[in-house]
Protein backbone atom coordinates (compact mmCIF):
# COMPACT_ATOMS: atom_id res chain seq x y z
CA UNK A 1 0.00 0.00 0.00
CA UNK A 2 1.16 3.52 -0.81
CA UNK A 3 2.61 5.01 2.40
CA UNK A 4 0.50 8.18 2.12
CA UNK A 5 -2.67 6.11 1.83
CA UNK A 6 -1.59 4.10 4.85
CA UNK A 7 -1.00 7.34 6.76
CA UNK A 8 -4.38 8.88 5.96
CA UNK A 9 -6.20 5.65 6.80
CA UNK A 10 -4.43 5.64 10.13
CA UNK A 11 -5.40 9.28 10.79
CA UNK A 12 -9.02 8.48 9.94
CA UNK A 13 -9.02 5.53 12.31
CA UNK A 14 -7.51 7.51 15.20
CA UNK A 15 -9.28 10.84 14.62
CA UNK A 16 -12.67 9.77 13.30
CA UNK A 17 -14.63 11.21 16.24
CA UNK A 18 -12.89 14.59 15.92
CA UNK A 19 -13.46 14.60 12.16
CA UNK A 20 -17.14 13.74 12.53
CA UNK A 21 -17.54 16.47 15.14
CA UNK A 22 -16.09 19.06 12.76
CA UNK A 23 -18.32 17.91 9.90
CA UNK A 24 -21.32 18.07 12.23
CA UNK A 25 -20.43 21.71 13.00
CA UNK A 26 -20.56 22.42 9.27
CA UNK A 27 -23.90 20.61 8.83
CA UNK A 28 -25.39 22.51 11.75
CA UNK A 29 -25.07 25.80 9.84
CA UNK A 30 -27.37 24.52 7.10
CA UNK A 31 -29.72 22.56 9.35
CA UNK A 32 -30.20 25.41 11.83
CA UNK A 33 -30.39 28.00 8.99
CA UNK A 34 -27.68 30.10 10.68
CA UNK A 35 -27.56 32.95 8.16
CA UNK A 36 -24.80 34.92 9.88
CA UNK A 37 -22.51 31.89 10.07
CA UNK A 38 -23.18 31.22 6.37
CA UNK A 39 -22.29 34.81 5.47
CA UNK A 40 -19.06 34.50 7.44
CA UNK A 41 -18.18 31.38 5.46
CA UNK A 42 -19.01 33.14 2.18
CA UNK A 43 -16.55 35.93 3.00
CA UNK A 44 -13.95 33.53 4.43
CA UNK A 45 -13.83 31.68 1.11
CA UNK A 46 -13.35 34.99 -0.75
CA UNK A 47 -10.35 35.74 1.46
CA UNK A 48 -8.62 32.33 1.29
CA UNK A 49 -7.00 32.25 -2.18
CA UNK A 50 -3.21 32.61 -1.77
CA UNK A 51 -3.64 33.37 1.94
CA UNK A 52 -3.38 31.27 5.10
CA UNK A 53 -6.82 29.98 6.06
CA UNK A 54 -6.26 30.64 9.76
CA UNK A 55 -5.43 34.30 9.07
CA UNK A 56 -8.50 34.65 6.87
CA UNK A 57 -10.78 33.21 9.54
CA UNK A 58 -9.28 35.49 12.21
CA UNK A 59 -10.11 38.43 9.95
CA UNK A 60 -13.70 37.26 9.41
CA UNK A 61 -14.19 36.81 13.16
CA UNK A 62 -12.97 40.37 13.75
CA UNK A 63 -15.34 41.68 11.08
CA UNK A 64 -18.19 40.03 12.95
CA UNK A 65 -17.02 41.16 16.40
CA UNK A 66 -16.72 44.75 15.16
CA UNK A 67 -20.15 44.58 13.48
CA UNK A 68 -18.64 45.18 10.05
CA UNK A 69 -20.32 42.32 8.20
CA UNK A 70 -22.97 44.78 6.98
CA UNK A 71 -20.56 47.60 6.11
CA UNK A 72 -20.63 48.88 2.53
CA UNK A 73 -17.36 50.77 2.88
CA UNK A 74 -14.19 48.80 1.99
CA UNK A 75 -12.17 51.22 4.13
CA UNK A 76 -13.99 49.94 7.23
CA UNK A 77 -12.73 46.45 6.49
CA UNK A 78 -9.25 47.66 5.63
CA UNK A 79 -8.89 49.36 9.03
CA UNK A 80 -8.77 45.98 10.74
CA UNK A 81 -5.17 44.90 11.48
CA UNK A 82 -6.14 41.29 10.77
CA UNK A 83 -6.88 42.01 7.10
CA UNK A 84 -3.21 42.82 6.52
CA UNK A 85 -2.57 39.07 6.57
CA UNK A 86 -5.01 38.55 3.68
CA UNK A 87 -3.29 38.83 0.29
CA UNK A 88 -4.88 41.24 -2.19
CA UNK A 89 -6.85 42.73 0.70
CA UNK A 90 -8.08 45.80 -1.24
CA UNK A 91 -9.67 43.75 -4.00
CA UNK A 92 -11.02 41.12 -1.62
CA UNK A 93 -12.62 43.74 0.66
CA UNK A 94 -14.60 45.01 -2.33
CA UNK A 95 -15.50 41.47 -3.41
CA UNK A 96 -16.71 40.65 0.11
CA UNK A 97 -19.03 43.67 0.19
CA UNK A 98 -20.39 42.96 -3.30
CA UNK A 99 -21.03 39.32 -2.41
CA UNK A 100 -22.72 40.21 0.87
CA UNK A 101 -25.03 42.69 -0.82
CA UNK A 102 -26.42 39.99 -3.10
CA UNK A 103 -27.88 38.28 -0.04
CA UNK A 104 -29.21 41.16 2.08
CA UNK A 105 -32.91 41.98 1.92
CA UNK A 106 -34.62 44.46 4.26
CA UNK A 107 -31.44 44.49 6.39
CA UNK A 108 -31.60 40.72 6.86
CA UNK A 109 -29.26 38.02 5.58
CA UNK A 110 -31.10 35.69 3.20
CA UNK A 111 -28.14 33.69 1.87
CA UNK A 112 -29.30 30.23 2.93
CA UNK A 113 -32.87 31.06 2.01
CA UNK A 114 -31.68 32.00 -1.48
CA UNK A 115 -29.63 28.83 -1.86
CA UNK A 116 -32.60 26.59 -1.08
CA UNK A 117 -34.00 27.62 -4.46
CA UNK A 118 -31.45 25.50 -6.34
CA UNK A 119 -32.22 21.93 -7.36
CA UNK A 120 -28.87 20.52 -6.27
CA UNK A 121 -25.36 21.35 -5.09
CA UNK A 122 -23.83 21.34 -8.57
CA UNK A 123 -26.33 23.91 -9.83
CA UNK A 124 -25.66 25.98 -6.73
CA UNK A 125 -21.90 25.77 -7.27
CA UNK A 126 -22.24 26.97 -10.86
CA UNK A 127 -24.19 30.00 -9.64
CA UNK A 128 -21.51 30.86 -7.09
CA UNK A 129 -18.66 30.51 -9.60
CA UNK A 130 -20.50 32.73 -12.09
CA UNK A 131 -21.82 35.39 -9.71
CA UNK A 132 -19.39 35.74 -6.79
CA UNK A 133 -16.23 37.65 -7.68
CA UNK A 134 -13.18 35.85 -6.37
CA UNK A 135 -14.86 32.43 -6.51
CA UNK A 136 -13.68 29.57 -8.67
CA UNK A 137 -14.68 25.95 -8.27
CA UNK A 138 -12.35 25.51 -5.29
CA UNK A 139 -13.80 28.45 -3.35
CA UNK A 140 -17.41 27.58 -4.20
CA UNK A 141 -16.85 23.95 -3.17
CA UNK A 142 -15.15 25.06 0.04
CA UNK A 143 -18.08 27.31 0.92
CA UNK A 144 -20.71 24.63 0.23
CA UNK A 145 -18.81 22.12 2.34
CA UNK A 146 -18.35 24.61 5.18
CA UNK A 147 -22.06 25.40 5.41
CA UNK A 148 -22.80 21.69 5.56
CA UNK A 149 -24.79 21.55 2.34
CA UNK A 150 -22.67 19.01 0.51
CA UNK A 151 -20.00 16.47 1.44
CA UNK A 152 -18.80 15.02 -1.85
CA UNK A 153 -17.19 17.95 -3.67
CA UNK A 154 -13.44 18.40 -4.00
CA UNK A 155 -11.63 21.43 -2.57
CA UNK A 156 -8.60 21.32 -4.85
CA UNK A 157 -5.98 23.54 -3.27
CA UNK A 158 -2.25 22.96 -3.77
CA UNK A 159 -1.97 20.72 -0.68
CA UNK A 160 -4.76 18.44 -1.87
CA UNK A 161 -3.36 18.28 -5.40
CA UNK A 162 0.12 17.48 -4.10
CA UNK A 163 -1.20 14.60 -2.02
CA UNK A 164 -3.41 13.30 -4.82
CA UNK A 165 -0.28 13.05 -6.95
CA UNK A 166 1.69 11.35 -4.16
CA UNK A 167 -1.13 8.82 -3.79
CA UNK A 168 -1.18 8.33 -7.59
CA UNK A 169 -4.77 9.47 -7.88
CA UNK A 170 -3.57 11.94 -10.52
CA UNK A 171 -0.44 11.69 -12.66
CA UNK A 172 0.52 15.36 -12.66
CA UNK A 173 -0.47 18.58 -10.94
CA UNK A 174 -2.03 20.85 -13.58
CA UNK A 175 -0.54 24.31 -14.05
CA UNK A 176 -4.07 25.72 -14.16
CA UNK A 177 -7.49 24.31 -13.34
CA UNK A 178 -10.07 24.79 -16.06
CA UNK A 179 -13.63 23.74 -15.30
CA UNK A 180 -13.12 20.54 -17.31
CA UNK A 181 -9.89 19.69 -15.47
CA UNK A 182 -11.34 20.52 -12.06
CA UNK A 183 -14.37 18.29 -12.57
CA UNK A 184 -12.21 15.46 -13.91
CA UNK A 185 -9.91 15.51 -10.87
CA UNK A 186 -12.94 15.80 -8.59
CA UNK A 187 -14.36 12.66 -10.18
CA UNK A 188 -11.03 10.85 -9.74
CA UNK A 189 -10.91 11.90 -6.09
CA UNK A 190 -14.49 10.71 -5.55
CA UNK A 191 -13.62 7.28 -6.95
CA UNK A 192 -10.53 7.14 -4.75
CA UNK A 193 -12.59 8.16 -1.71
CA UNK A 194 -14.97 5.24 -2.29
CA UNK A 195 -12.10 2.84 -2.88
CA UNK A 196 -10.39 3.60 0.45
CA UNK A 197 -13.73 4.02 2.25
CA UNK A 198 -13.09 7.53 3.56
CA UNK A 199 -15.83 10.10 2.74
CA UNK A 200 -14.76 13.06 0.60
CA UNK A 201 -15.37 15.70 3.29
CA UNK A 202 -13.37 13.66 5.80
CA UNK A 203 -10.59 13.08 3.28
CA UNK A 204 -10.16 16.81 2.75
CA UNK A 205 -9.86 17.40 6.51
CA UNK A 206 -7.41 14.51 6.86
CA UNK A 207 -5.13 15.81 4.13
CA UNK A 208 -5.19 19.25 5.78
CA UNK A 209 -4.34 17.59 9.11
CA UNK A 210 -1.51 15.66 7.47
CA UNK A 211 0.04 18.93 6.28
CA UNK A 212 -0.58 21.09 9.37
CA UNK A 213 -1.11 18.80 12.36
CA UNK A 214 -4.58 20.14 13.16
CA UNK A 215 -8.12 20.14 11.78
CA UNK A 216 -9.56 23.41 10.55
CA UNK A 217 -12.11 24.48 7.95
Four-residue CA torsion sign, 109, 112, 118, 121: positive
Query: Which is nearest to 167 in space by CA: 212, 215, 210?
Result: 210
100 in Cβ contact with 132 (< 8 Å): no
Distance CA 48, CA 89 (A): 11
Residues with catalytic annotation? 138, 157
111 in Cβ contact with 35 (< 8 Å): yes
CA–CA distances in Å: residue 172 to residues 4, 126, 161, 162, 183: 16, 26, 9, 9, 15
Distance CA 146, CA 112 (A): 13
Distance CA 109, CA 101 (A): 9
Amino acid sequence: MNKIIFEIKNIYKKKRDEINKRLEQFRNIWQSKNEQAALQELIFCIFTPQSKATNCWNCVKKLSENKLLFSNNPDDLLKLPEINYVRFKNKKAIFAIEAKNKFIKDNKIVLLKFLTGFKNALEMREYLVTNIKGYGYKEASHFLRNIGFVNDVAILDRHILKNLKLMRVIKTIPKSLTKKKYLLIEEQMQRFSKKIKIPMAALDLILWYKETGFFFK
